[in-house]
Structure 1
Amino acid sequence: MDKFTRITSFEQWFSPINLTLFEEQVKIHQLNYYTKKLYMASFMKLLLYAQLHETESLRALSDAVFSDDLQRTIGFESISFSQLGRRINTIPTEFFQTLFLDLVSQIHQKTDFQKQRKTTTPLKIIDSSTLPLNLTNHKWAEFRKTKSGVKLHLRLVFMEKGLSYPDQTVLTNAIEHDRGQLEVFIDDKECLYVFDRGYLDYKRFDRMTDDGYFFVTRLRKNAVVRVLETFSLPEDSKVLSDEMVVIGTTQNRSENVFRRLEILDTKGSELTLLTNRFDLDADEIAEIYKSRWAIELFFKWMKQHLNIKKFYGHSEQAVHNQVYIAVIVFCLNVLAQMNTNSDRSYLEISRYLKAALWKSAHIWLRKIERKNVP
């Protein structure tokens, strides 16, 4: 406990960021050259603080440095918003990507990801979400006459007990189609990939099947299919139909056979699923696809509780940097939950952290370690 009395809750929360890796990346990208005050370590703390407090602008962040506690943490008493703006516009996004991937690696180790995949097939859910931008300030991201935006393509690891966390991200302009990112995210034959119909590509499905990758996706109702065999279903099955099919027209037909299932969603609407897994029963496939909802919840949580609604900079680099800071914050909350074996939600962990930000770390840890009472 003594070591926690010497650091604040804020310092304890961001302590999983690998300082050795951090300094290596600072040197590689020469981020502290010709810097008189706003060194990367201090700037990183400011960006994390801004995410926690959902600080809407660099001017507001500059004003927040008035806090004595924040001054002690970052090592200076004032900073102009123009200096902050220059910084976030010039840091290579690869810097934040590297920190994010290192945190993902730590989460993998905490979940014993490699060991668990020997006994169960991990699910990796793929989807994207568009983050709107101001067209006047972000013309580089224009995708309609009146709109600008970037698209966050993301792969979410979904494991037992509802644990979900992002392990790979790609940022593109919103005009980019989802299909082009699918091959970027498909890289592990031991996993089962779940994605929506925005990624439909019959030729790619053939390549994935030939290469030994497994998936569950949603098929359009008007898709052309030829039924080869109909499988029987248990009387208590919630699945409406289960068939072996080939997909596509005569001119553009799949080379492999697939499995088509009709299911009902929670609202009673019919969904058509497509998969290349024939070894699982139909109800298992239906439940696997329903797990895709986890990534919808992730995007909703990010947009509600992380600072990606208003962006600090106008450049592509500044926008991408802010998004990566947001996913870094999410990973830090995941690690806080795992390191304390807490059943507190990420939102509760974040709220308690803000309440005890400058207090001794053990106060925050003690609070989030407590189990929720049913």
Structure 2
Amino acid sequence: MDKITRKNSFGQWFSPINSHLFEEQVKTLKLDFYTKKLTTESFLKLFLFAQLQEIESLHALSDSLFNDQLQKEINLDSISISQLSRRLNGLNPDLFQRLFLDLVSQIHAKTHYTKLVMPLKIIDSSTLPLNLTNHRWAKFRKTKAGVKLHLRLVFMEKGISYPEKAIMTTAKEHDRNQLEIMADDKECMYVFDRGYLDYERFDRMTDDGFFFLTRLRKNAVIREVCDFKLPEGTTVLSDQMVIIGTIQNRAENYFRLLKVMDSKGNLLHLITNRFDLSAEEISEMYKSRWAIELFFKWIKQHLNIKKFYGQSDWAIQNKVFIVLIVFCLHVLAQIETKSKRKTLQISRYLRAALWKPAHIWLRKIEGKAIP
């Protein structure tokens, strides 16, 4: 990250946003046609600011423009709640999805994401509840509404985890329907939970050269083919080659079944199509699945994703992708400064030094003394 800069901390944090891509998308999607006041750039900066400050409503966001420094940053001195609402509901979320994917590609490049490394990619989803009265288009139960965020998280060494692909659907959508969309890279190992169980898809993934690791249900029908010898001192209870499924509904390929105990003493049946790794390595890989659970918990707690500013499908998607952009910007700051600080600490320091010179924030997250 550029250490010699006259930017304030917010400007420095915002700088990885690809301005060329942004302008190209705004022009292609015609987002600033007939816009006199709240341009798309001002909108993006304002709503990134809202996420950083955990602002809970459009009323509070409109009032925040009383701040002179925020006015200067977004080139706007006031905005009505109705204008904010119209812009939020009318902006095509494709823009923010493209910006998110561009930031992901920057993280790939800066974490030496190459074909020489086979990272783990964890797939899972989280349902975000909505008020049924205001979001009838997202109804999925008699008294409930919601959307589902389907996510693929890259889990690499040195504790770096970041979202790589995100798809928004209504909460009715079953996880299994998204597996083939999420699994599109053969140079990795996919880890996912029982919600994605589908023997036919497991066969297709294996035949097409995709590697995966998941957990079987307790009542799954299994036929043992052979036992693999376990080394002494292993925590794995058994390691077998098996056929899964009944005669009417079974997988055609052979798979590897491991039985392990989790930290709470529960017996887990892990199934994979990898036979080249040790039983302990497979077991450790499955433990990494908790990274995506922690990610969902983190964004719900700290990035204000529980409360949405709008009621339309586009408004919900815009909010979610802006949240993912915020997280990626934190990760890029962490990588660029080689900081050992957690993303939560980086966010807190940024809020405290938002309009101060960037070097103050950079030195703080690097762990250096501020002169």
Q: Deviations over 1:150-196 (max 9, x none)?
A: 10000000001111001101110011100000000111111010000
Q: Secondary structure at the match of 2:204?
A: helix
Tell me which residue corresponds to 1:54.
54
Per the alignment, residue 302 of structure 1 pairs with 299
* Contiguous gaps of at least 5 residues in structure 2: none
Once the two structures are superposed, residues 256-306 of structure 1 have per-residue CA deviations (whole angstroms, 9 ceiling, x without a partner) of 000111001111111000000011111110000001010011001000000
Is 1:41 matched with 2:41?
A: yes
Partner of 2:131: 134
Other-structure match for 2:76: 76
Matches within 5 A, 1:232-251: 232-251=229-248
Shift of 1:371: 6.9
Q: How does 1:259-338 map to 2 (within 5 A)?
A: 259-338=256-335
Q: Distance in 2 between matches of 1:324 and 1:88?
A: 12
Q: Deviations over 1:347-373 (max 9, x none)?
A: 00000000000000111001001179x
Partner of 2:201: 204
333, 337, 341: which one aligns with 2:338: 341
Aligned pairs for 1:219-238 (under 5 A) are 219-238=216-235
Letter paired with 1:52: L
Quote the Cα distance in structure 2 between the aligned partners of 1:123 and 1:280. Answer: 14
Q: Distance in 2 between matches of 1:180 and 1:311?
A: 26
1:200 deviation in Å? 0.1
Quick one: structure 1 residues 208 and 10, their matched pair in 2 at CA, closer, same or farther if it must change by over 3 Å? Answer: same
Q: Which residues of 2 match residues 7-22 of structure 1 at below 5 A? A: 7-22=7-22
**What amino acid is aligned across from residue 311 of structure 1 in structure 2?**
F
Instruction: Give CA-to-partner distance per residue, 1:196-240, whole Å, 9 cap, x none.
Output: 010000000000001111100000111001101011111201001
The CA distance in 2 between the partners of 1:289 and 1:359, in whole Å, is 43
Paired residue type of 1:76: L
Q: Which amino acid aligns with 1:74?
A: I
Identity within the alignment, %: 68
The aligned counterpart of 1:113 is: 113
CA contact (8 A) 1:344 1:371 kept: no
Q: CA deviation at 1:63?
A: 0.4
Q: Kindly report structure 1 stretches of 4+ aligned residues shifted beyond 3 Å.
A: none
Distance, in Å, in 1 between the alignment partners of 2:29 and 2:250 is 49
CA deviation map 1:64-90 (0-9, x unaligned): 000111111111211001100000101
Give deviations 1:110-150, integer Å, cap 9, x for gaps: 01101xx41x4211000000111111111111111111111
Distance 1:224 1:279 in 2: 24
Match of 1:159 among 129, 141, 156: 156
Question: Paired residue for 2:210, among 208, 213, 216?
Answer: 213
CA distance in 2, matches of 1:283, 1:36: 61
SS at match of 2:229: coil
Shift of 1:2: 7.8
Q: Which amino acid aligns with 1:257?
A: Y
Aligned amino acid, residue 204 of structure 1: R
Matched, 1:350 2:330: no
CA distance in 2 between partners of 1:351 and 1:80 (Å): 28
Partner of 2:104: 104
TM-score norm. by structure 1 comes to 0.97
Alignment TM-score, normalising by the size of structure 2: 0.98
Distance 2:271 2:112 in 1: 30
User: Where do 5+ consecutive residues of structure 1 fail to align?
Assistant: none
The amino acid that maps onto 1:278 is: F
**Secondary structure at 1:35 match in 2:** coil
1:22-55: CA deviations, max 9, x gaps?
Answer: 1101101111111111111111110100000111
Instruction: Provide the rounded CA distance (Å) in 1 between the counterparts of 2:51 and 2:316.
Output: 14
Q: Name the counterpart of 1:177.
A: 174
The one-letter amino acid of 2:361's match is W
Secondary structure of the residue aligned to 1:113 is coil
- Answer yes or no: is the 8 Å Cα contact 1:154–1:168 preserved in 2: yes
Aligned to 2:184: 187
Name the CA distance, whole Å, in 1 between partners of 2:94 and 2:193.
Answer: 28
Q: Distance in 2 between the 1:131 and 1:55 partners?
A: 18
* Superposition deviation, residue 3 in structure 1: 4.2
1:318 is paired with a residue whose SS is: helix
The amino acid that maps onto 2:224 is V
